[in-house]
Amino acid sequence: MSESEIIEVTMHGRGGQTAITASQLLAELAYEKGFKDTIAIPIIGAERRGAPIQAFTKISKNKPIKTYDSVVNPHYIIVFDRSLLEIPRIQETIHDGVTILANSKEAFNTQKFGKNIKLFIVDATGICIENQFMHSSGPILNIPMLGAFGKITGYYDLKIMEKVIRKEFGERRLEKNMSVAKSAYELVKEA
């Protein structure tokens, strides 16, 4: 990816899995790291727990972002719930050469999606359960998924995450958030 390119990220999750918050935090993390411009674009539909949702983030190292529409040709796809990859509408967003980061215990076949797809996996659900990082409807997946994303891209590190998490969630919630971020950062692997 060239330094002048706008990097586009699509997040697929279910209502309650915190993908929309992850999109906003990703924009903030990139900005804190020194990216020139960032924007988060949530798509909020049915607004009910468990319903498929999408969120988008655009980040740019060197130039302002002048488009505010949703992402149609992402460089990265972050999948909070692997079952969403069975939905044809979501399958259509996956193209040759994209990098997928999936919340998954094990690798899976990406050949049906296209060529030269890079797949990274992290058991974000397991990390959340192990660390009791939960809310009433299940695991809080945004922080571990962002920890893993930072590791695979190098766009930010754990120090930047700590700074943003402290600012957004306060000192009281910092330790637990950083614990799951660090676990995902260390455990993400290419499949």
Q: Structural domain boundaries of the chain?
A: 6-190
Report how far residue 38's alpha carbon sits from residue 26's, in angstroms, rounded to the nearest whole number.
9
More confident of the two residues 163 and 51: 163
Q: List CB contacts of 172: < 8 A, sequence separation 6 or more.
A: none
Q: How would you class 146 by CB atoms within 10 Å of its CB: exposed for 0-12, middle for 13-18, buried for 19 or more?
A: buried
pLDDT at 11: 95
Residue 85 and residue 100 in contact, taking contact as beta carbons nearer than 8 Å: no
pTM of the full structure: 0.93
Q: How many CB atoms lie within 10 A of CB 155?
A: 20
For the stretch 79-118, pLDDT in tens is 999 999 998 888 888 989 999 999 999 999 888 888 999 9
Largest distance between two CA atoms of the chain? 45
pLDDT tens-digit readout, 109-152: 888 888 999 999 999 999 999 999 998 878 999 999 999 999 99
* pLDDT at residue number 82: 93
Check whether domain 6-190 has CATH 3.30.1510.10, yes or no: no
- Cβ atoms of 153 and 76 within 8 Å: the answer is yes
The set of residues, in sequence order, having a beta carbon less than 8 Å from that of 103 and lying 6+ positions away, is 79, 80, 81, 82, 121, 122, 123, 124, 125, 141, 145
The residue type of 18 is T
HSE value, Cβ hemisphere, 13 Å, CA-based, for 150: 30
